[in-house]
Structure 1
Amino acid sequence: MPLTNVPSEGVRPIDHLLLRGDIDAPALDGRSGSQNYGELECSLGRLAAWLARFGLEPGARVASWIAKGPVAALMPLAAPRAGLVHVPVNPLLKHRQVAHILNDSGAALMIGTASRLSTLKDGDVPPGCEVHREDDAACAMTGGDALGPSDAAPDDLAAILYTSGSTGRPKGVMLSHANLWLGAVAVADYLGLTPADRTLCVLPFSFDYGQNQLFSTWISGGCVYPLDYLTPRDVLKSVDRRDITTLAGVPPLWVQLVELDWPTEVAAKLRRLTNSGGALTRPLVGKLRAIFPGADLYPMYGLTEAFRSTYLPPALVDSHPDSMGSAIPFAEILVVRPDGSVTADDEPGELVHCGPLVAQGYWRDPARTAERFRAAPAASRYGGMAVWSGDTVRRDARGLLYFVGRDDAMIKSAGNRISPTEIEEAAVAVDGVAEAVALGVSDERLGQAVLLLVRASPGDVPAIEKRLKADLPNFMQPREIRALAKFPRNPNGKIDRAALAGEYAS
């Protein structure tokens, strides 16, 4: 895909990111200590050299399932510097999901914390995949030779991020150096980040949104503070102790944070709040405004397949609180009819994302790639491949977008995209369960919670709960399981999911 409207310095390999900062300026701070840009670049080079010594072929996949610290922060840069492809694994996943990612990606190397590695079972790690502890990687960063910056091409594959789909197991989104570099430039630009900024990284680095906390701050010369928080109060304390200026979150986190008693002087330290992973409600916007009057609020909409699509400038939040905003830098957002023609103002249509932020498709999955990644509409100034989101939106006369509905059955809970099929497959593996349907139901804290309907007897519910707790991560656990004697059917004999949703999820 030809790159246009690229900054004057052009697209560089993502592992060059730290070279943009002042070598004496703070780059990473946390429980493991503080490093400036010069020190962090040296740590990056040593970690990359350690990875290179395994002798893996170029483009081999390296998975990481580790705590949020220096190793986790540098792996997205170190693997590409070593000519490898990084596959970050969500720390909340359990062994079955991790096994799928390892096998699907064909990972040749797995780095994990000892406690997480101990949960893996026989057969979870594919043949030929070496497993090493996070401690080994951390030790490698403290001394030895360092590998210099890579000469990767913009379209070279740098990472595979796994995201759930509405059907089947998680699929790997292929991201190039250009995707990651331009995403960092774009966000840093519209957020107005500077070397004086300190970003509290509370989101998992396995998410594109979480990973960009690092990249957009570093490309601006600022400092990141990774935090694996246990309670919302940990976030408040960190904002105070570390003089945090920038905080990225998802709606469920904001709901919890506004319930805290924020001292005025602590709230005043935050200069910008960013949100994605679900829409902010008007009442929540009002509470955030009241608690953080000096902070700019940036509602955003994104797709892992294209990183980020739109943002709403802070100046428009009060007057247009329901809007998704308009395209971020390097993104072209079209609203089209089924025939691909552009809709009129206020006419609903499908959101299509065009331009250099579009990913390279799904890893080893041409069928699902063809469904989502298709030729750009004729009206696109970029052409090439585009992401057809499946989301229905409308565009008003001034170009602001508004979300109308989602075409697929994805459940969005606490910022996580949950595949109903994955929950259903785990449920029907229990003896006595004939069929299962997972639905998203409204939840004030989570955005959506999972309701699981099963065709089984009420006496089977405890066994289902036990199985799901063993096989699925906490964020996939149903809030409620209901046993039904029968499911409604459509004329084709399939389960009528729309009828079930209308009766139980309304």
Structure 2
Amino acid sequence: MLQSRVSDLAHRAALKFGEKTALTLPGLRSLSFREIDDLAGRMAGAFAARGLKAGDRIVLHLPNGWQWVVAYHAIARLGGVVVPANFLLSAEEVSYIVEDSEATALIVPAERRASFKTRAQVYTLGEAPEAEELTRLLDGDYMLPVERNPEDLFTIGYTSGTTGRPKGATMSHEGLFASLSGTATIHVRHEGDAVLTSLPFPHVYGNIVMNATFLVGSRLITTPRFDAAEALRLIGEEKATLFEGVPTMFYQMLAHPSIGDADLSSLTRCTVGGQTMPTAKINAVTSRFGCPLLELWGMTEVAGPAVTHSPYWSPRPGSIGLPMPGFETRIADLEDSSRDSAPGAAGELMVRGTMVTKGYWRNEVATKETINAQGWLATGDIARADKDGFIFIVDRKKDMIITAGYNVYPAELEQVIAMHPSVAMVAVAGTADEEKGEIAQAFVVPHRNAVLSEEDLIAHCRKHLASYKIPRKVIFVEDLPKNSTGKILRRSLREAQASV
């Protein structure tokens, strides 16, 4: 019987899908469901022989690849707690996660072993005289999944730390499984799918994409890092039916010269999350890719996607969709979160349900600041809902610009600027102003060979925006700062301007 737990997910997939290919690493290796189960079982056995046990926190710091997938499911079947650490994090950042989570073990590539001084056991991927090779772990005795309860702690996901030290959001087996099963159901994932993604597996979005393979029996095609030309090529070469990414990945593919010759005919839908995406770019993707682009919303504190669209619903560009089953949402008044905002008015998105974290790891103060007594988690996103309940993210609460007493949402300005045919990417951030308090500035990446001026864009904005919303300055740049998951960092733009 299907249980709401991740500990036996890979094993159940092996029993059901056997020799069917589960994972493809283009040009490197492919593994079947049975092979992954065997490798994870032997690695779990080796972990157990070295003293690791159920409940131990184990930090997983590897790039996307078969080793990450096998190690993840080895920890799961051992009954351990997976603590994912994005591969682009520095050694200092990973060390903080190791210490804060009180991890028993750390898994890293051999070339990074020397960067870590820790009391935790360290397992490496390649040669390292002072530590065990990860490959030796594959010689352990095969271990069946241990029995775990759905409510047991399974993973601790650390936030990006944009407002201080990262916090570890705890997640149970059933919490993660709720996002996994809901995403698979609403996106109509199935055994015939070939899913292409470069989303980092440690991120909640990438993690759900990876685990959906084991739930439905689809084939996952992944690369360690995203490259627009390679992604366009692989969609055609691997006959991908589903491409999953963040907005910047789609922007880069739309702007790449090879898109004119790309074979995208196998795609039946794409998904996008992690950040709001201008409707002009959404429409451009659906037109060029020839399939629906399903927007979704989630966060570290809710285990993965929690609000999204079905490919069978009528398109609503700009909306993140409807809540998944068992997941509650409400739009709270910005001045008093105990009250709902007026119908159609913007307010803070509040969420509650099985997939919401029960709290931050050994941080009661942060937990109480974020989750109220009724179990509602304050997301920090400003949103509104239409008459049918579809949710639209207006912006991040902390990114709102207050200019001369008016609230200006960067995402609204980005929507308008992205409509200009010469704009490839745009981000809007506030900067201090003596007269108005703050003013909006637009940072624009033009399309290749485009002729575009600040005057052109200001005039374009005047056609669509109230005068107080128009950016007071346009700065042309070659690229925009992004975090390890590809999300554009407005905060970095603000800080860069403040230091000038």
Structure 1 counterpart of 2:117, one-letter code? V
1:310 aligns with 2:310: no
**Higher mean C-alpha displacement, 271-280 vs 234-243:** 234-243
**Secondary structure, counterpart of 2:99 in structure 1:** helix
1:157/1:305 Cα in 2 relative to 1: closer, same or farther (>3 Å)? same
Note if contact 1:160-1:175 (Cα within 8 Å) is conserved in structure 2: yes
How many equivalent pairs are there?
A: 415
Structure 1 alignment gaps of length 5 or more: 1-7, 377-384, 413-419, 421-438, 447-468, 486-506
State which of 260, 277, 281 in structure 1 corresponds to 2:278.
281
C-alpha separation in 1, matches of 2:204 and 2:441: 25
The residue that corresponds to 2:110 in the other structure is 114
Match of 1:56 among 35, 52, 58: 52
Q: CA 1:316 to 1:38, structure 2 compared with 1: closer, same or farther past 3 Å?
A: closer
Tell me the residue number matched to 1:96. Answer: 92
Inter-partner Cα distance in structure 1 for 2:222 and 2:263? 19
The separation in 2 between residues aligned to 1:115 and 1:445, in whole angstroms, is 35
4+ runs deviating over 6 angstroms: 472-477
Q: 1:484–1:226: structure 2 CA closer, same or farther, 3 Å change rule?
A: closer
Residue type of the alignment partner of 1:481: A
Task: Quote the Cα distance in structure 2 between the aligned partners of 1:89 and 1:442.
Answer: 32
Match of 1:452 in 2: none
Aligned-partner residue type, residue 287 of structure 1: A
For the 8 Å contact 2:78–2:145, the answer to whether it is kept is no
1:244 aligns with 2:237: no
- Equivalent pair of 2:63/2:200 in contact (CA under 8 Å): no
SS for the counterpart of 1:266 is coil
Matched, 1:262 2:259: yes
1:497 aligns with none
Establish whether residue 131 from structure 1 lines up as the match of residue 126 from structure 2. no
Give the corresponding residue for 1:11. Answer: 4
Between the aligned partners of 1:259 and 1:339, the Cα distance in structure 2 is 41
Please give the alpha-carbon distance, in whole angstroms, between the structure 2 residues aligned to 1:296 and 1:37: 29
The aligned residue for residue 23 of structure 2 is 28
Q: Tell me, yes or no, if the aligned pair for 1:232 and 1:257 is still in contact at 8 Å.
A: yes
Q: 1:18 to 1:238 in 2, by over 3 A?
A: farther
Measure, in 1, the Cα distance between the counterparts of 2:140 and 2:47: 13
Contact 1:76/1:159 (8 A) holds in 2: no
- The CA RMSD measured in Å over matched residues stands at 3.1
Letter in 2 for 1:59: G
In structure 2, what is the Cα distance between the partners aligned to 1:482 and 1:324?
Answer: 31
Q: Does 1:401 align with 2:394?
A: no
Any idea what the Cα deviations from partners look like across 1:330-381, whole Å, max 9, x if unmatched? 31212233252444421333212111111221112111111112233xxxxx
Change (3 A) 1:94 1:14: same
* TM-score for both structures, normalised by structure 2: 0.75
AA at the equivalent of 1:11: S
1:283 aligned counterpart, secondary structure: helix
SS in 2 for 1:179: helix
Mean CA deviation greater in 10-19 or 223-232: 10-19
The one-letter code sitting in structure 1 at the alignment partner of 2:121 is E
- The residue number in structure 1 matching 2:198 is 202
State whether residues 93 and 473 of structure 1, in contact with CA within 8 Å, keep that contact through their aligned partners in structure 2: no
**Structure 1 residues 39 and 158: alpha-carbon distance in aligned structure 2, compared to 1, 3 A threshold:** same
Per-residue deviation, residues 253-312 of structure 1 (Å, max 9, x unmatched):
11001123336672112222101111121221122122111x221001112111323113
After TM superposition, the structure 1 stretch with the greater mean CA deviation from structure 2, 246-255 or 336-345, is: 336-345
Paired residue for 2:369? 371
CA contact (8 A) 2:10 2:36 kept: no
Q: 2:100 corresponds to which letter in structure 1?
A: D
Given that 2:56 and 2:80 are in contact with CA atoms closer than 8 Å, whether structure 1 keeps it comes out as yes
Q: Give how far 1:483 is off.
A: 6.4
Distance 1:145 1:34, change over 3 A: same
Unpaired runs of 5+ residues, structure 2, are: 127-131, 401-409, 412-428, 430-438, 447-480
In structure 2, the CA distance between the partners of 1:42 and 1:309, relative to structure 1 (3 Å rule), is same
CA deviation profile, 1:47-98 (whole Å, cap 9, x unmatched): 2112222213532211122121111112332212112111111111112212
Flag the structure with more relative contact order, 1 or 2, with Cα contacts below 8 A and sequence separation at least 6: 1
Q: Distance in 1 between matches of 2:246 and 2:67?
A: 24
